[in-house]
């Protein structure tokens, strides 16, 4: 009986030793964090011209391809603007041609009979021609702008992705610059992980990474693609564009969290990624 107990005790001690080694290798040796999230490029879709919405051929959560029509604004006023700009251009060209003919006539007359026409009159005609040419260029720019605004009455997908937070409906008045929907670029999924500043020295760009999402058992692989060189903190008043991973407890001194971006190597097979999913990340530094 004593021998059995000794054997069991020895086996338990050996198991505890290997468990300690495993924990050290997988938790303490390699930098790891549970403060990580799935991120994707979120594209805010807003019309560049204002008007009544006449067509919304997409639905919420629909997958779209680059160039697909997302919404259409009533083009009537913009067609009229193009017609008006074309008429203004034709009028400006006619004035320019008239001024040019008059200037040419005065120049020829001055060449044949220098005293028959005053120099100031010739100079004034040339300047009038230059001004008319400038009006033509301005009218051409106005016509190009009107045509561009007409094209902008159709809003197309800038990338492949999924529509979300769709708020536009047929009959709504869409104001230029106001978001009508958001598109998630499904080709831009990555991981944003926050590591303690004491761990950053053990992380390099290119290091392989293991990623495990909280909601799924499938393990994803990736590589460190970038380490942030700036975070926001309360005493820094220079900018509000930096990430601000604040510590959980303010009354003790905690290591700051530094954002590390991770590029995924392939998409998961058993589930679809979503922006904001929580993940655990382990970095496996490559040996020198």
Q: What is the pLDDT of residues 21-41, one digit of tens each?
A: 555 555 555 788 888 999 999
Above 80 in pLDDT, residue 240? no
CATH of domain 32-40+188-283: 2.40.30.170
pLDDT band, residue 201 (cuts 50/70/90):
confident
Q: Are 286 and 208 in contact (CB under 8 A)?
A: yes
The structure tokens 């930098």 sit at: 31
Above 70 in pLDDT, residue 168? yes
More confident residue, 16 or 49: 49
Which of 134, 129, 133 has its CA nearest to residue 105? 129
pLDDT band, residue 182 (cuts 50/70/90):
very high
pLDDT at 125: 72
More confident residue, 282 or 100: 282
Above 70 in pLDDT, residue 238? no
DSSP 64-79: E-TT-EEEEE--HHHH
pLDDT at 15: 67
Edge-to-edge order in the sheet of strand 51-55: 154-156, 69-73, 51-55, 173-174
More confident residue, 63 or 202: 63
Above 80 in pLDDT, residue 2? no
State both tokens at 65: 């391809």
pLDDT at 91: 93
pLDDT at 21: 56
pLDDT at 126: 75
pLDDT band, residue 132 (cuts 50/70/90):
confident
Fold for domain 44-184?
Answer: OB fold (Dihydrolipoamide Acetyltransferase, E2P) (2.40.50)
pLDDT one-digit tens code per residue, 75-129: 999 999 999 999 999 999 998 888 888 777 767 666 666 666 667 666 777 778 8
Phi-psi region of 177 (alpha: psi -120 to 50; beta: other; left: phi over 0): left
DSSP 154-207: EEE-SSSEEEES----TTPEEPTT---EEEE-TT--EEEEEEETTTGGG--TT-
pLDDT at 75: 96
Q: State how far the Cα of 286 lies from the Cα of 288, in Å rounded to an integer.
A: 6
**3 state DSSP class of 110:** helix
Return mean pLDDT, the chain. 83
Q: Are 250 and 180 in contact (CB under 8 A)?
A: no
pLDDT at 233: 59
Residue ranges of the alpha helices (H) in 193-288?
none
Q: State how far the Cα of 228 lies from the Cα of 261, in Å rounded to an integer.
A: 8
pLDDT at 243: 63
Question: What sign for the dihedral angle of Cα 123, 127, 128, 130?
Answer: positive
Edge-to-edge order in the sheet of strand 42-45: 42-45, 181-184, 161-164, 63-64
More confident residue, 89 or 197: 89
pLDDT at 245: 63
Domain ranges of the chain: 32-40+188-283, 44-184
More confident residue, 288 or 244: 244
pLDDT at 252: 53
pLDDT at 98: 83
pLDDT at 12: 74
Q: What is the percentage of the chain residues whose pLDDT exceeds 70?
A: 75
Q: State how far the Cα of 109 lies from the Cα of 99, in Å rounded to an integer.
A: 15
Q: State how far the Cα of 74 lies from the Cα of 59, in Å rounded to an integer.
A: 20
């Amino acid at each position: 009986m004593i021998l059995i107990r000794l054997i069991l005790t020895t086996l338990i001690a050996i198991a505890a030793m290997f468990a300690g080694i495993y924990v050290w290798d997988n938790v303490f040796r390699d930098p790891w964090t549970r403060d990580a999230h799935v991120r994707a490029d979120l594209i805010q879709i807003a019309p560049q011209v204002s008007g009544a919405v006449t067509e919304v051929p997409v639905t919420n959560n629909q997958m779209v391809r680059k160039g697909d029509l997302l919404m259409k604004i009533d083009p009537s006023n913009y067609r009229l603007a193009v017609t008006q700009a074309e008429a203004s251009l034709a009028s400006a060209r006619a004035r320019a041609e008239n001024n040019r003919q008059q200037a040419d006539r005065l120049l020829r007359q001055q060449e044949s009979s220098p005293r028959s026409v005053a120099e100031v009159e010739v100079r004034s005609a040339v300047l009038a021609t230059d001004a008319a040419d400038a009006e033509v260029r301005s009218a051409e720019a106005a016509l190009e702008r009107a045509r561009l605004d007409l094209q902008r009455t159709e809003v197309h997908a800038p990338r492949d992705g999924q529509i979300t937070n769709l708020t536009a409906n047929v009959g709504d008045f869409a104001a230029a610059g106001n978001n009508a929907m958001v598109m998630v670029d499904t080709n831009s999924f990555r991981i944003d992980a926050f590591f303690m500043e004491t761990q950053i020295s053990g992380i390099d760009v290119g290091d392989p990474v293991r990623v495990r999402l909280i909601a799924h058992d499938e393990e994803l692989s990736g590589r460190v693609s970038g380490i942030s060189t700036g975070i926001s903190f309360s005493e820094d008043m220079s900018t509000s564009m930096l990430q601000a991973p604040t510590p959980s407890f303010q009354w003790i001194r905690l290591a700051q969290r530094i954002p590390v971006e991770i590029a995924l190597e392939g998409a998961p097979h058993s589930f679809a990624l979503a922006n904001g999913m929580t993940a655990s990340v382990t970095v496996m530094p490559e040996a020198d």
